[in-house]
Amino acid sequence: MGASAQVLTKAPTLKTVVEPTFPADAGIGGTVELELELSADGHVTNAIVIQGVDPAIDEAALTAARQLTFTPAELDGRPAPVRLRFTSLVMPTREPDAGPPPPPPAAIRGVLLLAGRREPIGGALVRINGREVISNDRGEFELTDLEPGNTTVQVTSGAHERFEVIEHLVAGERTQVTYVLRASGGGYETVVRDVRNRREVTQVRLTKNELRSVAGTNNDAFRVVQNLPGVARSPFGGSALVVRGSKSWDSRIYVDEIQIPQLFHFAGLTATFNSATVDSIGFHPGNFSADFGRSIGGLVQAEVRSPSTTGMHGHADVNLFDVGALIEAPIAGGWSASASARFSLTQWTIPLGLRAISAGVANQLGFTLAPSYWDYQLRAERKLSRGRIFISLFGSGDQWALANPNPFIDQDFEGNQSAAGTSQRYHRLVVGFDHRFSERVRLTSRNAVGFDVNEQSGSVEEIFFRTTQIPIQLRERLGIEVPEARLNLGFGFDGLLTVVAFDAQRPPVFRPNQLPEPFVTRRLLAQTERSLYVEPGLSADATWAPTAWLQVRGGLRADGELGVMRRLWLNPRLGVRVMPASWLTLKAGAGLYQQPPDWRSGQLSPTFGNPGLAPEGAWHFMTGLEARAFGVLELDVQGYYKALFSQARLSLASGLGSDLSIPGASSRYTSEGYGRAYGMEALLRLRPTKHLTGWVAYTLSRFERDSYGVPYAPGPLDQPHNLIIVASATLPWGLTASGRFRFASGPLITPIVSSLFDVNANQYVPLPGLPWSQRLPDFTQLDLRVDKRFTFDAWSLVVYVDVQNVTNARNPEALFYNFNYTRSAFVTGIPILPTAGVRGEW
Amino acid sequence: MRALVLVVLCGCGTGFTPETLVDSLRVLAITAEPPEVGPGEPSALSVLFADPTRTTKTTVLWVGCEPDPQDLGRSACNDAAILLKPTTITDYPPGLQLLGFGPSATYRSTREVFAPLTADNPIRQSGSVGQVLGLVVGEDVDPTATGERLRGYFERIERKETQAVVGLTRVLVSEKPAGLRNRNPTVGRLFVNGEEHPTGANLLVGPGGVLELSMPGLTEAAERYDEVQPTGVVSKQEQLVGAWYSTVGFFDRERFAANDLVVTHFTAPGEATERGTGTIWLVLRDERGGQAFEAYPFYFCDERLPTPAADAVTLEQDGTVTVRGSNLDAVADVLVGDHALVQGAYSSVDRTFVGRRPELAPGTYDLRLRSRGCETLRTSLRLSL
C-alpha cells in the first residue's frame, strides 16, 4: 500500500557492463559519480551526474550508464523502481605494447565484505588492468588470464567507498584475497515519490538516511518528526506531538500499523520504540486516506525493518540517558530475528546532574523516585514466496514521582513522600502477514494484542488513577489492482477492542471557573469500572489514474464506538493529484474525520465524565503543490483549513452563584467545544546525496478554540511561525556533522490579572485573564552534532557529541510568578546542553 | 520531567521577595470560630491583616456564600469570573450576602442548607463548605453605604484605584454532632534559642542577629477525626502547618510541619528599622479549615541605650501595674514570673513603665526587666497577685 514503507528485499546487481568511451583530448580521465534511476525491470530510466570531472568525460559516463542493465531490485519481494549511486571510471584505453612473449597468466579470486559488519557486497565492479567483473550476491569475484606482477585492483560500488590496492599476481597461480569496503554516505533509497505509489495528498516519509544523526534529536528517528512542517515546537523540548495545533489525543502513533499509546519516554528524551529497528517513518499532518481512522489530527507511522538475513549483527549504545543493545541474525527455517532493549540511566544521571549544579535545585525538585524508563523489541520474520510473516513483541515502561511541594500538603509530612507520581507501561504482541494472492490481489494483515497499565498518584495517598487496558487490534486490508481501468482498490477492516479496568479516586473535577478547594480528601469520588470499548472500522477506497497526469483517491470509512457511546459515524475522504509537468504536482484534499472523546482520561466515565458525549470531529481541507528541481531538490507546499466540532470540554459550574450559564452545564463535560486550525506548510528538501542531506521546513499555523462565550480565542498551542533548518554532511575520516536551527513564535500563556489569598491553603490563587492570550518572545535555537566512526574489519565504533542550544540562547518558555502573582519572570528553556555517547556496531 | 528540571534551574535565581516578608497590605489569616458549624449556627470571623507601609485607614468588608448542598463548590464566592469583577458582588448573585464591615463578622448558613438531600445522604455528615471572602480595602468605607454608593467602592477596587486584598476562607457546615466537629488549633508556647519565651513579651534581636524559633507540643495538639471516604470511614489525625511572616528580615523556612523537632531560623536585617521595631506573625492551620495566629513584636537590640533599673512596683485594683525606676524608656518588657506585663509601655509623662497584670495564678512573683539593650535584669522587687 502506498502509505506504508517498503522494504528493499533485494538489491539490484549489474547485469550488463558497458564501458565508457574515453573522449579524445580528455586528459587523464577520472571517476564520475552518477545517480541512476532503474525501472522495475532493471533498465536505466534516468541518469544524472552527482559529481563530475569535465563535461566530455561526464557525458561519456552518462552515455555508458544509460546502456547498463541490472537485475531487478525488489521491494517487499516485488520488482520495483529504485534510485542508486553508481561510480563510473572513465579512463584512456591502454594501447597494446609490443614486447617479449607474455608469461603464464595469473588469476585472482576474492570476496568483498562490508567493513564493520562483514556482510558480502554484491554488484560491485572489480577492475584489474582494464578487465572487469561484477561480484555475485555472496560478494565473490574471480578474474583469470591476468598479467602477472604488481597490478592495481580497483573496486567500485554505488554504496561504498572506492577501494584500491596493489596486488602482486604470480604467474600461473591464483591469488586469494578478501577486500573490506567501507560504506559511503549514499546507498540505495526507496523511490517513495513514484506517482504510482504516492497516493496520499499530505505525507512526508523520511528514510533511514534522513533519520540518521539529526542534531538535537538524541539520535532518535521519532524526534525527527518534530522537525517537519505541521508539527509545532513542543515547549522545553518536551514529548508532546502537536500536529496543526491539535491536542495529543487527536494524533495517533502506529508501529507496523499497530497503534501504540505513548510515543516518547518522559520529557521526550527518546521514543518508546527503539528507532534503531525502524526502516522509515511516515508523517501525515492531516487529510490522510480512509485506511486510518479514529483520529482528527495527524498520524505517525513507523515501519520496522526486517532482521538481518545475511549474518549476525548488532550494536550497543551508551549515553548519558540510557544504555541499549540490538542483536539480529538469521535463524533456522528461513527465519531471521532481532532483539533489542534499552534501560534508562536517568535515575542516576539526573539526580547526579542536579546535585552537581546545585544541591538546592535537587531538593527543590524533590524526586522521590528518580525518573526511569525501559523498552524492548523482539521480532522474528520469514520471507515467503508470496510475501512475508512476522511476529513481534515490544513494550515500554516509564516511572517517576516527585514530592509535590504543595504548600499545604507539605513534603515534610510523613506519608506524602510518594506524592504526584506516574507509571506507564505498554506491551504489544503483533502478528503481521503480507501475501500476494496474484499479481493483482494482495493482503496486508496486522493483528495485535496489548497490555497497558497507567497509574497516577496524587499529592496524597487517597488520590489515585489507575487503568489497565487490553487492546486487541485487527487490521486487514485487501488491495486489488485493476490496470485495465487504471484503478487501485482497497478494502479494509480496522477493529479495535479494548477491555478497560478503571479504578480512580479523586475529588470532583474542578470547573474552569472554580477555585480549587484545598481540602482534597474531604470530598472524594471513586469509580471502579470495567468497560469494553468496541471500535469497529471499515474502509473502502479507490485510486484512479485515468491519465498519466491525474490521480484521484476517494474513500469512505465507517467508524464507531459501540461499547459505551453506542455511536457509528461515516467519514468520506477525497484527494486529487494533478501532474501538469513531470516536475510539478498540484494536489487538493477534503475529508471528514471523527474520533471518540479521550476515554483514557475518563471523559466517557459515568462518574468523572459524560458517557453521552458525541464523537469529536474535524473537517480537513488542503491544497498545495509538489515540485522537483535539479534532480535532488523537492518542494512541498500546502495550505490547510481544519474545522473542529463536537469537541469535548469541561462544563462551567453555573450552580448557585455564577453569572455564566451554558446549556448542558449540569454535565461534567459537553460536546459543545469547537475550533479551527488553518495555515501553510512548506518543505524544501534535499534528497540524500553522498555528502549532504537536509531540509527546510516552515509552518504557518493558527489554532483557535472557543472559550466559554469567546468565539475563536487562541488555542493553547497556537504557534504562527515555525522554521526549522536541518542539514547533515558526511565528511572524510568517518565524520558526520549535522546541525539544526529553529525559529518559532513564542509560546502562549494565560495572563494572571489578579489573585486572592486562600487562607486555608496558605497560598495565593491566581485569577486568570483570557486563556492563552499572551505570547512570550520568539524562540531560536541552534543544535550541532558530530559523529565519528572508527571502522574496523569486524566492527565499528561511533563516538558522538550532541550539543543542544550551542549559543546558549535564553528562550522564554513560560512565566513564573512571585507568591502573590504581582511580579513575574521568564522561565527559560534548555541552556547549552552537551551530551555524548558511544556506540559499537558489528 | 525535563520541563520541571528547567523550571527549577531557571526559576530559582530570580530575586523575588520571600512570601514571609510583609511589606505591603496583606491578609495573613482569617479565623472562623468555630471552623465547623451546624446549619444555621453562627461562626465568628476575624481577620489578621497587616500593612506596614500604609498610614491611611483600612476597612474590612465581609462577603459570605451559602454552601452548595451537593458539595461541589458551586458558589459565587468561588467563581473566578465574579472575583475578577468585584462589582458583580453588589448584584448579589444567588446565595451571596454581605456579612458586614470591620475586623470581625459572623457567618451563618441557612438552616435548610441540606434540604435538597435525602436524610441519609453522607454529605450531611461530611458537610459542605460555605465560602467567605474578607476584602481589606485601603480606604474608609462607610458601613451604612448601600446601592450605588456601595457599588462605587467596588468599582474603584475593580479599576484598581483603591488598593484591596482579598482573603478566601471556608466554614464547614455539617450535621455532625458538636463533639465531632473540627476545632481551631491553639498556638503553643514559643521557644527562642532553646528557651521558653516569656508569655506576651517582645522578641529581642540584634541587627543581623538570628533567632531560633520552635514550638514544642503541637503534635499532641493535632486532633483525631473520622473522614468519610468512598472506601469507608477513615480515622485520621490532623496535620498542622505553621507559616511565619515578618515585617523585616527573613526565615529559613516559610512554613513548617508543626512537630516538636522543627526549628525555624529568623534572621534580622543588618540595620535596625527607623523605629527599631518589627513584628513576626505565626499562623497555624489544620487541613480542615481551622486556623489560629499570634503576633510577636520585636525590638532591635540597641547597646547604646542606658541600663534601666526598677526601684518600686505597684498594683492597682483595676489590674494596672506601674513600675518606677531609672531609664525605664529602655525597657522592652517587665516580667512577672514568666509573663510580661500585658500591653506594657513606657509613659513619658511620669517616666514609669505601665501595663496590666498578666493571667497568672495568685502568688508572689519575682520582677525582672528585659532591656532594649537585650539584657534580662534581675530586680529586688516582687509582685503579689
Cα A395 off chain centre by: 17
Tell me if B264 sits within 8 A of B250, measured CB to CB. Answer: no
A-chain residues within 8 Å CB-CB of B230? Answer: 505, 524-526
CA distance A520 to A14: 73
pLDDT over 80 (residue A4): no
Looking at residue A318, its amino acid is: V
Hey, of A414, A510, A522, A660, which one would you mutate to test binding to chain B, going by the most B CBs within 10 A of its CB?
A: A522
CB spacing of B68 vs A656 below 8 angstroms: yes
In chain A, which residue's Cα lies nearest the Cα of B19?
Answer: A819
pLDDT tens per residue across span A786-833: 999 888 877 888 898 989 899 999 988 888 888 899 998 888 887 888
Handedness of CA B171, B172, B177, B180 (dihedral sign): negative
A758 near B CB under 8 A: yes
**Residue A332 DSSP label:** G
A-chain residues within 8 Å CB-CB of B81? Answer: 513, 658-660
Q: How many A/B residue pairs have CB atoms within 8 Å? A: 213
Comparing A115 with A246, the larger pLDDT belongs to A246
Nearest-CB residue to A757 (from B7, B167, B285)? B167
DSSP string, B258-324: -STT--EEEE--SS--TTSEEEEEEEEE-TTS-EEEEEEEEEE--TTSPPPEEEEEEE-TTSEEEEE
Q: For chain A, give the mean pLDDT.
A: 83
In chain B, which residue's Cα lies nearest the Cα of A668?
Answer: B72
CB spacing of B76 vs A236 below 8 angstroms: no
pLDDT over 80 (residue A14): no
Residue B11 grid cell: 526559576
CA distance B181 to B175: 9
A661 near B CB under 8 A: no
Put residue B89 in one of left, alpha, beta given phi > 0 → left and psi -120 to 50 → alpha. Answer: alpha
CB spacing of A522 vs B288 below 8 angstroms: yes
pLDDT tens per residue across span B229-287: 888 888 988 888 899 999 999 998 888 877 767 889 999 999 988 888 999 999 999 98
pLDDT tens per residue across span B309-335: 999 999 998 999 999 999 999 999 999
Tell me if A33 sits within 8 A of A63, measured CB to CB. Answer: no
pLDDT over 60 (residue A99): no
pLDDT over 80 (residue A330): yes
pLDDT over 80 (residue A74): no
A268 near B CB under 8 A: yes
Please tell me the distance in Å from B315's CA to the nearest CA on chain A: 41
Nearest-CB residue to A759 (from B27, B75, B257)? B27
A710 near B CB under 8 A: no
Complex ipTM: 0.92
Tell me if A739 sits within 8 A of A772, measured CB to CB. Answer: no
CB spacing of A371 vs B88 below 8 angstroms: no
Torsion angle of the four alpha carbons A196, A202, A208, A210, in this order, in degrees rounded to the nearest 10? 120
CA distance B56 to B61: 16
pLDDT over 90 (residue B131): yes
- Is residue A200 classed as helix, strand or coil in its secondary structure? coil
Angle at which helix B2-11 crosses helix A346-357, to 10 degrees, equals 0
A-chain residues within 8 Å CB-CB of B10? Answer: 826-829, 831
CB spacing of B168 vs A660 below 8 angstroms: no
Comparing B344 with A354, the larger pLDDT belongs to B344
- Is residue A188 classed as helix, strand or coil in its secondary structure? coil
Cα A263 off chain centre by: 10
CB spacing of A266 vs B1 below 8 angstroms: yes
Tell me if A33 sits within 8 A of A49, measured CB to CB. Answer: yes
At A391 the pLDDT is: 97
Interface of A with B in 511-540 (CB under 8 A): 513-515, 517-519, 521-526
pLDDT tens per residue across span A697-745: 999 999 998 877 778 888 888 889 999 999 988 888 888 899 999 999 9
At B339 the pLDDT is: 93
**Residue B87 DSSP label:** G
CB spacing of B74 vs A658 below 8 angstroms: yes
pLDDT over 50 (residue A412): no
Task: Tell which residue, A398, A491, A478, A401, has the closest CA to residue A437.
Answer: A478
pLDDT over 80 (residue A94): no
A-chain residues within 8 Å CB-CB of B2? Answer: 236-238, 266-269, 830
Hey, of A270, A667, A757, which one would you mutate to test binding to chain B, going by the most B CBs within 10 A of its CB?
A: A757
At A504 the pLDDT is: 86
At A420 the pLDDT is: 62
Please tell me the distance in Å from B208's CA to the nearest CA on chain A: 23
Find all residues with CB under 8 Å of B325, minimum gap 6, and list them.
B308, B309, B310, B311, B312, B353
Q: Which residues of A694-713 are buried (b: 16+ CB within 10 A; e: fewer)?
A: bbbbbbbbbbbbbbbeeeeb
Cα-flanking dihedrals φ and ψ of residue A554, to 5°?
A: -125, 150
Comparing A130 with B297, the larger pLDDT belongs to B297
A361 near B CB under 8 A: yes
A-chain residues within 8 Å CB-CB of B288? Answer: 519, 522
Please tell me the distance in Å from A162's CA to the nearest CA on chain B: 45
At A9 the pLDDT is: 65
Percentage of chain B lying above the pLDDT 70 cut: 95
B-chain residues within 8 Å CB-CB of A510? Answer: 73
Residues in chain A: 842
Percentage of chain B lying above the pLDDT 90 cut: 56
Instruction: Quickly state the pLDDT bin for B296 (edges 50, 70, 90).
Output: very high
B-chain residues within 8 Å CB-CB of A773? Answer: none
CB atoms within 10 A of CB A841: 18
Cα-flanking dihedrals φ and ψ of residue A519, to 5°?
A: -80, 75
Comparing A449 with A33, the larger pLDDT belongs to A449
pLDDT tens per residue across span B213-228: 998 877 777 889 988 8
Comparing A460 with B213, the larger pLDDT belongs to B213
CB spacing of A653 vs B229 below 8 angstroms: no
Please tell me the distance in Å from A603's CA to the nearest CA on chain B: 18
A-chain residues within 8 Å CB-CB of B96? Answer: 657
Task: Tell which residue, A591, A590, A490, A477, has the closest CA to residue A543.
Answer: A490
Find all residues with CB under 8 Å of A56, minimum gap 6, and list them.
A23, A26
For A84, counting Cβ atoms within 10 Å of its Cβ (0-12 exposed, 13-18 middle, 19+ buried), the class is: buried
At B66 the pLDDT is: 93
In chain B, which residue's Cα lies nearest the Cα of A236?
Answer: B3
Percentage of chain A lying above the pLDDT 70 cut: 86
pLDDT tens per residue across span A614-651: 999 999 999 999 998 887 899 999 999 999 999 998 88
Comparing A1 with A819, the larger pLDDT belongs to A819
Task: Tell which residue, A753, A652, A823, A713, has the closest CA to residue B84.
Answer: A753
CB spacing of A514 vs B283 below 8 angstroms: no
At B247 the pLDDT is: 94
In chain A, which residue's Cα lies nearest the Cα of B5?
Answer: A365
Nearest-CB residue to B168 (from A371, A515, A769)? A515
CB spacing of A657 vs B169 below 8 angstroms: no
pLDDT over 60 (residue B2): no
A-chain residues within 8 Å CB-CB of B130? Answer: none
Comparing A67 with A645, the larger pLDDT belongs to A645
- Mean pLDDT is lowest, of A50-54, A330-334, B5-9, B73-77, for B5-9
